[in-house]
Amino acid sequence: MAKPRYDEAQLKDLLLQMMETELGGEQVYRTALTCALNDDLKEEWEGYLEETLSHQNVVRTTCEALGIDADEVVPSRLVVKHIGESLVKAMELAKQGGNPAAAQLVACECVVHAETKDHANWELLGKVAEAATGDTGKALKDAHERVEKDEDHHLYHTKGWCRELWIESLGMPAVLPPPEEVKQVETAIGASRAEQQRTQML
């Protein structure tokens, strides 16, 4: 039997981190929604929360297909959990500050932090999916194809929201909803182009 072209133990670790990231992401979105003032942003995050719940099921199903206990606790998973809980606490702290607009900004930043890790997880899983063969390769490819576009959307769009809300808070003209939202950006290149075109949308 051919030796896999990747480290199986590290793939398991990645999947367990992914499970924790999606569980933490749910709490991040639930808390962020209590900070959202902009109706369009609130609607966006409500959709992301639903997709995050779906992603939890995808990761859990993928773990089961690979014979991995999705609830197993490993050291790296505890780190991911700690970061997720810290983001929730940061938003709660911001809400206590008595400035709802500032709390919304903090929530945006916390979502970007969470989605940066989430996006990286799925990108890495895609790399392993390319190298994996047989049933493992199929399970990883199926999972990646189901989720990748959502993750691109979550990260690039929220980064756009974060930028524009910050610009607005600085007393400068902002594009709301952000260009990434208007142009339905799904890639890093698309996000860069949208940002470059923002001045034409003011």
User: What pLDDT score was predicted for residue 185?
Assistant: 83
Task: Indicate the pLDDT class of residue 1, thresholds 50, 70 and 90.
Answer: low
> Is residue 52 within 8 Å of residue 22, measured between CB atoms?
yes
pTM: 0.94
Arithmetic mean of pLDDT, 11-27: 98
User: What pLDDT score was predicted for residue 4?
Assistant: 74
Arithmetic mean of pLDDT, 49-76: 98
**Is residue 191 packed enough to be buried (19+ CB in 10 Å), middle (13-18) or exposed (0-12)?**
buried
Task: Indicate the pLDDT class of residue 190, thresholds 50, 70 and 90.
Answer: confident
State the average pLDDT for the chain: 95
Task: Indicate the pLDDT class of residue 105, thresholds 50, 70 and 90.
Answer: very high
What is residue 132's DSSP assignment?
Answer: -
